[in-house]
Amino acid sequence: MSLEVRESWLAQVVEDVLEPERRIIDTHHHFFEAGEGFPFYDLSRFWADTATHNVEQTVYVQCWEGYRKTGPEEMMVVGETEWVDGIAAQAAKHPEAAQIGAIVGTAELRMAAKVRPILEAHRAASTLFRGIRLIAAWDACEDVMSMPGLHDGDLYGDPAFREGFAVLADMGLSFDAYHYHHQNRYLTALARAFPSVRIVNNHLGTPLGVGPYADRKDEVFEQWARDIAELATCPNVFMKLGGLAMPWNGFGFHKAPVPPSSDELVAKQGRYYHHAIKHFGAERCMFESNFPVDKCALSYTVLWNAFKKMASRYTEAERDRMFRGTAAEFYQLKSSR
């Protein structure tokens, strides 16, 4: 998997920032070191993006970066939290810019009860650590990216995984879930089994639009919509609104001669956002950029303009919840300004 950010291509679409005064918490982004697969993205590049809108705080979400190079293999993942904590300390020297308010790391929950020392090490590494993400994305088709080590779509039902998940419950940590649309039902079962764990579904539950799903958008939407409505009956589950510009969502923005405008994004994706908001309510929804992954398809300015246009039908209190309040509550963020 390789994603490319083409700044000159993105620059073809320029929009004025809508509602520049609106306070924002970007609930999902990554940093990438120089290497293969993902575009290099450091604090200065992220600040260049977040400065276009009034982003006060962000949530860093695991992406296999910054791991320890030595020590026990199972503890190497703690290096990511240590690495981002250092970046957050750099950011704190510039309070006028977006601050990293929370860190979501990772740990192999299939270690069952033995995962506890790893989670404790994450917590000791940073006061910003709030929980983990262990990606469950899997599909039977080889044309769709699946996580290594997965043999079916129900990682969440694995007994060893659930024993590890119980440690999250015991430690009061949250869980970021990332999987594909046909796996949302498995998250529902997990959430019902662990009602005390705060869970947030990343990227609107990732409706697929490539491989065998490329010509079945309406069918996929209908299945996704049913399962999202059912998932929303779990009061401990929240929803991240965003992450639909990735290539595997099938909208093809990254292949177009010109990147999409905010109006085009609203026209093609609005139904997903409004369905999720209808069932979860603004009090359990939070907007996310998923940058720089989604930057392969559109600019930060365009993306948040689209969010603001989609949110315009809701009350001011609801908008503030989705742009800031829900995230502050879920990730236990301190006020930055």
Cβ 27 vs Cβ 331: under 8 Å:
yes
DSSP string, 62-97: --S-S--SSS-GGGTTHHHHHHHHHHHHHHHT-TTS
| Average pLDDT of the segment spanning 5-11 | 96
Provide the pLDDT confidence category of residue 3 given band limits of 50, 70 and 90. Answer: confident
Cβ 269 vs Cβ 244: under 8 Å:
yes
| Alpha carbons 191 and 67: distance in angstroms, whole number | 29
Q: E strands along 155-297, which residues?
A: 174-177, 199-201, 237-241, 285-287
Helix crossing, 159-171 with 184-193: angle to 10°? 50
| Alpha carbons 277 and 315: distance in angstroms, whole number | 12
Q: Is the pLDDT of residue 1 over 60?
A: no
Q: Is 333 buried (19+), middle (13-18) or exposed (0-12) by CB count in 10 A?
A: buried
Nearest to 200 by CA among 295, 72, 16, 326: 326
Q: Is the pLDDT of residue 236 over 80?
A: yes
| Domains of the chain: residue spans and CATH | 23-330 (3.20.20.140)
| Alpha carbons 122 and 277: distance in angstroms, whole number | 32
pLDDT in tens, 246-261: 999 999 999 999 999 9
pLDDT in tens, 55-99: 999 999 999 999 999 999 999 999 999 999 999 999 999 999 999
- How much of the chain exceeds pLDDT 70, in percent? 99
pLDDT in tens, 148-173: 999 999 999 999 999 999 999 999 99
Q: Write down the pLDDT at residue 2.
A: 65
| Average pLDDT of the segment spanning 207-224 | 96
